Amino acid sequence: MPDQTDIHIIYHSSDAPMSKWQEWLNRLDPRIRLVGLDDPAAQTAEVMITWSPPYGAIAALPHLKGVLSLAQGVDHLLDDPSLPRDITVGRLIDPFMSQSMAEWVMLAILKQHRDEAAYAEAATRKDWVCFEPRIPADYTVSVMGIGAIGGHVAEKVANLGFNVLGWSRTEKTISGVTSLTGTDGFAHCLRQADYVVSVLPLTDDTRDIYDAAAFQNMKSGAYFINCGRGLQVVEDDLIAALDQGHLSGACLDVFRTEPLPAEHPLWVHDKVTVWPHVSAQTSPITAAKQVIASIMAIRDGKPPVNPVDISRGY
Ligand code: GLV
């Protein structure tokens, strides 16, 4: 039963049931009442927490002061042409999610590095075959996007002993990682890497950034790993680079269209591993504390915990 102490927060996400967020937010603040977009209380709500709201929904809410992405990325919000450019936007930077993404990237690299598929195949033939061991320091991993999340990924990969390059808009200082910037830095990272790992946010500058030219710029035999955004990859160009034998394979968590359509050739490509966008899933259990803090900050007219610069795109 709502009473006047309730704080109505709009919830819109196809990702997790509202009841799960309600439960974990209420453990920290019993006043929070999540409401759907069509609930009359949405008309007076000041904050929305969301993944991929319908275009126009945010602009139509008269009292909305801010929106929190229930994800690390915000492209699903900023893509809306009607998004008021002066609205406050926040995103998640959650140590659990950053670690989860690092685990996924390390798994993708190590499966290749340790010949996991070849050993699994040999085991089906009861074949006790042994391949030459590889030394991580002989291999270069380029992590494209070494901000708050990619930087953590790069550091973890460096801890495995690989030679790690990192590319970002501005120079970063990360233990074990050589930081590069600019178009020359981008090309250098692609040319040097045995593994190209993309953790980039989707912006006007990164849309379609992995096209035929980028794939050709990669070292022959390079392996491509993407947990950034699907719209950064020209998928036909990726398939061509794999079919030509220029790239040795790809491990993809994100796609231009999600869910990946059943008839999409990436599902059945023998050099591609498809994951259903799960490299860093949001957990209300770990994120609730920062979501509450951001909700309260926005209601007070202050920046959320992880503010987004709308003009920059992340
Ligand atoms: C997931 O895609 C995220 O942005 O966190």
3-state secondary structure of 251: strand
**Ligand 1 atom showing the smallest separation from residue 282 Cα:** 5
* 312 belongs to the catalytic site: no
Q: Domain 7-94+282-299: what homologous superfamily?
A: NAD(P)-binding Rossmann-like Domain (3.40.50.720)
Tens digits of per-residue pLDDT, 113-122?
999 999 999 9
Instruction: Check residue 15 and give its pLDDT.
Output: 84
Q: Mean of the pLDDT values across residues 131-149?
A: 98
Q: Tokens standing for 151?
A: 């930087």
Q: Mean of the pLDDT values across residues 23-39?
A: 98
Is residue 67 a contact partner of residue 58, using CB atoms and an 8 Å limit? yes
Q: How far is the CA of 73 from the centre of ligand 1 (A)?
A: 5
CATH 3.40.50.720 domain range(s) in the chain: 7-94+282-299, 97-274
Instruction: Kindly report the protein residue whose alpha carbon is nearest to atom 1 of ligand 1.
Output: 71
**Ligand 1 atom showing the smallest separation from residue 74 Cα:** 4
Instruction: Check residue 4 and give its pLDDT.
Output: 58
* 269 belongs to the catalytic site: no
Instruction: Check residue 3 and give its pLDDT.
Output: 55
pLDDT at 1 exceeding the cut of 70: no
Task: Look at residues 188, 149, 185 and name the one whose alpha carbon lies nearest to residue 170.
Answer: 185
Ligand 1 shell residues, CB under 6 Å: 71-73, 280
Pick the catalytic residue: 134, 229, 246, 256?
229
Instruction: Check residue 41 and give its pLDDT.
Output: 97
Pick the CATH number of 97-274 from 3.30.565.10, 3.40.50.300, 3.40.50.720, 3.30.450.20: 3.40.50.720
Is residue 170 a contact partner of residue 147, using CB atoms and an 8 Å limit? no
pLDDT at 231 exceeding the cut of 70: yes
Instruction: Check residue 14 and give its pLDDT.
Output: 83
**Ligand 1 atom showing the smallest separation from residue 254 Cα:** 2
Question: Which of 72, 255, 278, 286 for a ligand 1 pocket mutation test, highest count of atoms within 8 Å of Cβ?
Answer: 72
